[in-house]
Amino acid sequence: MADLQKVGVARAVFRATRDRLQERRKWLRLVRAVEGTIAWGAEVAVDSACSFALGVNSSIGHGTLVAIMPGPDGPGALRVGRQTYIGSYNNLRSAGAALSIGDHCLISQFVSLIASGHAYSLRDAHIRDQGASEKVGLTIGDDVWIGTQVVVLPGVVVGNGAVIAAGAIVTRDVAEYSIVAGAPARQVGERAPAAESQRSPGWGSRTPLHRTG
């Protein structure tokens, strides 16, 4: 009996090790196919009929789920520009639609970017059988900051330089350089032009404070 238990444990360890190695090989193939960085532990599932591009110096954090698959209107696509940070435990999804994220963006944690959804207007048909909604696609411009736990729904265009506050649910387009918050998200401010404000130094380059007396 003890020998059978040992055999069972050995087989379980073998299967776990094999599965781990397969996941590692899959991750390495994906990392080599893009210009940016994908953290070990991110789950990126892109159907062979779909496209995925991660720009130079861009990164996808641990625990983030990327699911790009075909839909009723064709293949899905994800394009991430240059120097864009996508943090941990985010959710990026598209079925048959384009999800585009620009350059120099900051996407925090637990953010959902959804480029396609389900039609649901008919009572006498299951939602899963009604096809895709009319609103498809999702575009995030350049230099956009998206706070934690934000949800951006299909059909939305977020303009360059916009800021989306934590916890917002974005159901309509966001104007360039505007600041939005709430559920549904509404404009609560805007970023000042560079000529009207003193641009703060970049992260990690702040001048230390000194005693004056």
Catalytically active residues are 118
Decide: residue 36, CB within 10 A, 0-12 exposed, 13-18 middle, 19+ buried: buried
91 close to 107: Cβ distance less than 8 angstroms: no
Nearest of 124, 135, 121 to residue 73 by alpha carbon: 135
Nearest of 176, 141, 171 to residue 156 by alpha carbon: 171
Using the structure block, give the residue that is written with the tokens 């706070």.
Answer: 147
Q: Which residues of 130-144 are buried (b: 16+ CB within 10 A; e: fewer)?
A: eebbebbbbbbbbbb
Coil, strand, or helix at residue 24? Answer: helix
Based on its alpha-carbon atoms, the radius of gyration of the chain, rounded to whole angstroms, reads 21
